[in-house]
Every structure is written in structure tokens, then in C-alpha cells.
Amino acid sequence: MSSSTAALVTAVIVFGDSTVDTGNNNAVATMLKSNFPPYGRDLGAATGRFCNGRLPPDFMSEALGLPPLVPAYLDPAYGIADFARGVCFASAGTGLDNATAGVLAVIPLWKEVEYFKEYQRRLRRHAGRAAARRIVRDALYVVSIGTNDFLENYFLLVTGRFKQFTVGEFEDFLVAQAAGFLAAIHRLGARRVAFAGLSAIGCLPLERTLNALRGGCVEEYNQVARDYNVKLNAMIAGLQSSLPGLKIAYVPVYDDMLNLINNPSTLGELYIFGAVLFSFFTGLLSQIICFTYAGLENVEQGCCATGMFEMSYLCNEKNPLTCPDADKYFFWDSFHPTEKVNRFFANSTLQICLRELLS
């Protein structure tokens, strides 16, 4: 990336769930962890990322001239000097609804915000008040959250939300929670936010497995994701007009995911196009983005174990069925993408950020 573009971003600051958690759950008393092999297999170590390698914020950070790994705030191996250039507050298993975090005893979103406040106090002591204010103001914020609210909470019938709300009302409730969160981080100094919509949650391998009698993706869940995304997008548009200086880029993960699932062989073509387009805007080194020309071979099961239901401790190094080459797969386990797909999502998100947040 050109030095002028990279200089616009002081840090990558991350909120959300397992799609972006770089290791905070390692420090939490929960069963939802991934700090053991074969997680991290292609990264060289199991860091707590729910992937065989890196996550989208890691690739985004590297492309912006920042470190290639965004450190987890609760990782004792890192300190405030590291966090000044990037920090992750996300927690696998959490959601916009506080009740979602309670299902697996993970960090609720309000606590992620509290950690952000604590981080700012530490940053002021480390860098001084003016420098800390600039880091916070000029950071790029990445938010990915919401899947667990439906699949771990509402549709799993464990919290009582299904009795309290219709699914449409629950969508409205979550969008209101998202608006409150965005207003909170805006008050704390955030100005440029990339907010991911829901993916095609009915096409996750675990949901396909549970839908075995009918086969294929769970269309009801995908429809919920589409409806929620429409409401989320409308909320984002309204919020930007009411909060001074706030810029929010909606990231259409649903469309990107479904396009890859329906056209898996085109991933290489998309990488090539993405690299050319991204380089046109930024001068980004092509090897950062364009790393493969091969498409995907499996978009229905995960690479780890059978790929049908395993995640966290069920995805372990003792299982002999784990695939030898994760690059052929969309999913690493039954819920999370491979590093190859995460790189694509990072590229797509960065292009949106360049148009809407960093121009």
C-alpha cells in the first residue's frame, strides 16, 4: 500500500466474535477455545484463532503497513506498545445480545467496550493524551458479530429469546443493540468503522448437517440473515447522518460468501481481479493479496475432522480425517472459514474501506 494511504490508519481495532477473535478466549473460563492443534496449523502455532491460519483483520493490518497479526487484548505476550498499532477485543461465541455471551460463558459485547475504555487509559499513559487521541481517531475499526445471536441463542432455544420475540422482532432488537454499540464507540473516539453483515448462516457445514433430511443450506436461516442485513444497513445509513464525524462501511459478507459457494472455482479469478483493483487504488504489493490462482474444491464440509459438526475441542489433532490441504476448502471447521477464504474477505473489506472510509 502507498505510504500516504497507510499513514491514514494508525491501528486496526477489532470487536466481535470468533470470526475475528485472535485469542482472547484463551484467557476466559469457557469451553469455546481453539488454542491447540490443528488450529493454527498454517500459522505455525495455535493462537486461539478459529482457523488454520490468519483472520481477516490480520491481513487488513498487514496491508495497511501495520503488523501482520492483530494481538488479542488479553494475551499476556503483548503490551500497550503492541496494542498502540492494533488490538482485538473480540470473543468467540459472543453476540450483540448479552444473553448470547452467557450461553458459553464468553466476553459480552459491553465488556469488549469496557476493555476499549481501559485500553485508552493505558494508551494515554503510554503515548500521551494527544498521541492517544490521534491513534484512536485515525484507527480503522473492524466489527464482525451477530451469527451467534441466531444460531447459538435464538434458534437453539436456550435463552428464552424465542419466547420473548418473533424472529423479526429479534432482528430489530439486535439492530438496536448494534446501534447502541456504534454510538458507544463513537463517544469513545471511533470514527471509521467497517461493520460486517451476517453471512449465509444457513450454509455453514454444521447447519447443513442438521438439515440432512432436506439437504443443502437452511434457507430459512439465510432468509433471516438477508432480512437482518437490510435492517442493519438502514440503521447504519441513519446513524451516520446523526453522529458527527462517524463513517461506517457496511460489509456484505452474505453476498461474498454465497458467490464463492455457488462459484468455487472462481476464487483465483477473484483474487487476481481484487489484486489489480486494489493496487490501482493503493499501490499495494501484489504478493500480499494475490497469492493463489486455484479455486475451491469443497464448499460444504470443513477441512478439520469430518467437517460436518466438529469445532473447538472436537477439532483436534487426534482426528485422522483432517484434510492435508486446507486451501481446497471454504471452511476450516464446521463454522469458520479457512485462511484462504479469510484472505479473500479481507481483500473485499479493504476495497470497501478504501472507497468509503479512507478516501
DSSP secondary structure string for all residues of 268-295: HHHHHHHHHHHHHHH---HHHH------
Q: How many angstroms separate the CA atoms of 192 and 25, rounded? A: 26
Angle (CA) 283-288-294 rounded to 5° is 120
Task: Tell me which of 18, 34, 61, 348 is the catalytic residue.
Answer: 18
126 is known as an active-site residue:
no
The answer to whether 34 is a known catalytic residue is no
Nearest to 301 by CA among 333, 324, 327: 333
The angle at the Cα of 46, spanning 59 to 207, to the nearest 5 degrees, equals 80
Active site residue 336: yes
Element at 263 (helix H, strand E) = none
Q: Is 138 exposed, middle or buried (0-12, 13-18, 19+ CB in 10 A)?
A: middle
Give burial (CB, 10 Å; 0-12/13-18/19+) of 332: buried
Task: Give the per-residue SS3 of 17-85.
Answer: CCCCCCCHHHHCCCCCCCCCCCCCCCCCCCCCCCCCCCCHHHHHHHHCCCCCCCCECCCCCCCHHHHCC
Q: Which residues touch 225 (CB under 8 Å, ≥6 apart)?
A: 150, 197, 198, 199, 200, 201, 202, 254
Q: Is residue 244 reached through a cis peptide bond, with omega within 30 degrees of 0 on the bond before it?
A: no
**Catalytic residue (one of 91, 149, 186, 336):** 336
Select which of 21, 333, 334, 348 is catalytic.
333
What are the residue numbers of the active site?
18, 333, 336
